[in-house]
Each structure stands twice: as structure tokens, then as C-alpha cells.
Amino acid sequence: MTGPAPRAPAVPVEIRDIRKRFGGGTPALDAVTLSIRPGEFLALLGPSGSGKTTLLRILAGLEFADSGALLIGGRSMRNVPARERGIGFVFQQYALFRHMSVGRNVAFGLDVRPRSARPAAAEIRRRVQALLDLMEIGHLIDRYPDQLSGGQRQRVALARALAIEPSLLLLDEPFGALDAKVRKSLRIWLRKLHDQMGLTSVFVTHDQAEAMEMADRIAVLRDGRIEQVDTPATLYAEPASAFVHDFMGESVSLPCTVRDGAASVDGLADMPPIPTDCRPGPAVAVVRPHEIGLRPGPGPARVLACQIAGPMRRVLIGLGAHEYDVLVALDAWSPGVGDNCGVDLSRARVYPVSQ
Ligand code: ADP
Ligand code: MG
């Protein structure tokens, strides 16, 4: 990539107690509060229907909150129309104009400006070429969208979003329609571009691996509420809820009951209780398969199946009325199907179950 054009400094984004309801029913966004730092790459992560697109459209000014406040660069966005927000927006579906060349697509946001705010034609051409070069598709300037691959089209869409020199870039599942390999290479590339251009970016995805790989921080949305905002490492290691634990990576959940600072797994009286500061009552113990300890010898579990899984061994155990996947180191112990074993759940995290 060549050096980026000088641009406005990255802006902070303040989202305060934003609520949005479409018609009746449950709210699409329910008291969402979030501060995004200047220059930050923030991922909005959540399952389908959790409110990610709605929040992004409110930031862009394409949708309006029922209540709450939004400040971009310290300025209230109340009554500021979308085109005056200085925001670049990339959608999942390639929203390119099919009858326009790549170059004209990218120039579009500048071409439609009123004469007084529009750069000279030669300057627009220079800027478009520089952006396409930066996207590594400079040679495609005279092609039409139909003549491009999916990955190339998304690069054009990104160039078009960047042509207006936004200080905030919003991306709604921009790689969702691409195949896995292209998606992975574009992730790394987009993250570099963000750093190089000094943007603030909000990136929507339902793919936790994508969010973990790209983002400085991840906001996890569930049913229109933010469950947790943290760095990828903290979200993975210290999930604040069973939902986040489960969403951030493979996990196993065991219903349990908390009393006197310890959780006992329901239906398994022989299992040692798990120390916890979770409140008393019904709870769930959540643990990643590699955090479960297995010991050969007498114990409550029975080995049902066993297979090599990359650098680990995946062991399916029967415990009480359920079956669970466990990952153990290859050199630890080689279990045989039918063997009994002890189970160590002390690394499980215990979360209350709302009644
Ligand atoms: P996500 O992007 O996380 O999949 P959305 O923000 O698109 O979620 O949707 C959140 C909720 O709001 C969903 O229940 C969806 O059906 C609803 N919703 C979104 N847009 C509209 C709309 N224009 N009219 C009615 N309901 C909508
Ligand atoms: Mg969406």
C-alpha cells in the first residue's frame, strides 16, 4: 500500500442510552450505551436479530433512535442528516451502481456534492486513482461491477466509502457474502488499512473469530442490549455471562446449584463442588473443552469415544445423563473407550440462571 492522503483526525463516538422499537414487540435496541475511542477498531458482535444493523444505521443517520443521545466527534447528531455526518458506510451486499465504471462508482460521493464543495474534476480523478491503488485494484478503474469478483467489489465499495474522507467508517458484515479464504485475507488487509488511515471504525459481524482477529475491543450484543465490551482476550478469558462465554468459543454447560460459595453439578452428587462467588440458587457451570481435566481411574465419567483433533485429543465422555466433549493434551493420557475417569471442573465459571 502507498501512503494515505492526509485527512481529518479520527473521532470519538458516544452512544448514550439509545432505545429503538419498531412497532410493537420487543425493542431492537434497549438502553445501549457505548464509548468508542478515536482511532479505535470496534467490532459489534452478536447473533442475527440482536440489533447490530439497527445500531449502525442510527450512527449513520439512516435510522433514528426513539430516545438517547449520539455524539460523533463531540458533536450531537440530533438533526444532523446522514450526508453531513462525514461517515463512510459499507454494506454486506455490494451496493455498487452497475451502470457505472469502478472509477465513477468511487467518485460518486464527490461528484454529487454541490459545486462549491466539490473538488475539481482532475482532483477527483487523482483521488479516485490513489484510493484504488491503495485498495490494490488500481488497474480495474475502467471495469464495471459485473466484471469483478466478490472480493474486488467489496474493495470498490470500501474505496467509495473512503473517497469522501470520512473520519468514521461503518462496516455492516462487509465480507459476509465472500468465501472463507477471501474473507480471511480481507480481514488482515482491512485492519491494516484502518491503522494506516487513522480512522475510527465500527465493524458489524456475527462471526466471533472475525471480531477477535480484527478488533481492538468487541461489544457483544444480545436482544438489543450490550452484554459486555472488552478486548478480545478479556472477553475470551473472563466472559461476564454464560451467553458471552458460549458465544466467544466452544464451551460446555452443566446445570448446577449454588449454596455456601460452591456449585454442585445437578444429578452428580459425587462431583467435587466448584468454588464460586456466584449468588445462591440455580446456576450453570460453563467451561471450555480444554479446561476440563480428565483423570484415569475410578470416577463418575465414562469414555464414549476418542479421536485426534489437531494437537489435542478429543474425548467424548458420558457424565450423568449427558455427553460432553473434552480436549486433552496428546501426551497426557490415552483413554480407551469404556474406561472410567475422574473429571475436574474447577476451571468452570459459574453464572446465575435468572428465575
Ligand atoms: P442484526 O443486524 O443484529 O441481525 P437488526 O438490527 O437487523 O439485527 O434487527 C434487530 C431487530 O429489529 C430484529 O428483531 C429485526 O427484526 C427488527 N428490525 C430491524 N429493522 C426493522 C424494520 N425496518 N422494521 C421492523 N423491524 C425491524
Ligand atoms: Mg444485520
Question: What is the predicted pLDDT for the residue at 124?
Answer: 92
CB 49 near ligand 1, within 6 Å:
yes
Angle between helices 102-111 and 150-163 (to 10 degrees): 20
CB 46 near ligand 1, within 6 Å:
yes
**Closest alpha carbon to 265 in 282, 290, 246:** 282
Three-class secondary structure of residue 173 per DSSP:
coil
CB 53 near ligand 1, within 6 Å:
yes
Question: What is the predicted pLDDT for the residue at 355?
Answer: 61
Question: What is the predicted pLDDT for the residue at 112?
Answer: 86
Question: What is the predicted pLDDT for the residue at 267?
Answer: 87
Question: What is the predicted pLDDT for the residue at 8?
Answer: 67
Mean pLDDT of 294-302: 90
Asked whether 229 and 34 are in contact (CB, 8 A), the reply is yes
Same fold, 13-242 and 250-352: no
Distance CA 21, CA 27 (A): 4
Residue 330 grid coordinates: 496428546
Task: Give residue limits of the domains in the chain.
Answer: 13-242, 250-352
| Residue 300 pLDDT exceeds 60 | yes
Radius of gyration of the chain (CA): 25
User: pLDDT tens digit string along 32-41?
Assistant: 999 999 999 9
Residue nearest to ligand 1 atom 10, measured at CA: 51
CB 154 near ligand 1, within 6 Å:
no
User: pLDDT tens digit string along 107-159?
Assistant: 998 888 888 888 899 999 999 999 899 888 999 999 999 999 988 998 999 99
CATH code: domain 250-352 is 2.40.50.140
Which ligand does the CA of 55 lie closest to? 1
Distance CA 167, CA 106 (A): 17
| Residue 6 pLDDT exceeds 80 | no
Cα dihedral value 101, 105, 108, 110, nearest 10: -100
CB 48 near ligand 1, within 6 Å:
yes
Question: What is the predicted pLDDT for the residue at 94?
Answer: 65
CB 51 near ligand 1, within 6 Å:
yes
CB 220 near ligand 1, within 6 Å:
no
Of the CA atoms within 13 Å of residue 236, those in its CB half-sphere come to 12
Tell me the pLDDT of the chain averaged across its residues.
Answer: 91
Which ligand does the CA of 24 lie closest to? 1
Q: How far is the CA of 146 from the centre of ligand 2 (A)?
A: 25
Asked whether 287 and 303 are in contact (CB, 8 A), the reply is no
DSSP 288-351: -GGG-EEEEEEEEEEEEEEEEETTEEEEEEEETTEEEEEEEETTT----TT-EEEEE-TT-EEE
Residue nearest to ligand 1 atom 20, measured at CA: 54
User: pLDDT tens digit string along 234-263?
Assistant: 999 999 999 999 999 999 999 999 999 999
Q: Does domain 13-242 have CATH number 1.50.10.20?
A: no
Contacts of range 312-319, beta carbons closer than 8 Å, 24 or more positions apart: 314/289, 317/341, 317/343, 319/254, 319/268, 319/343
User: pLDDT tens digit string along 311-338?
Assistant: 899 999 999 888 999 999 887 778 899 9
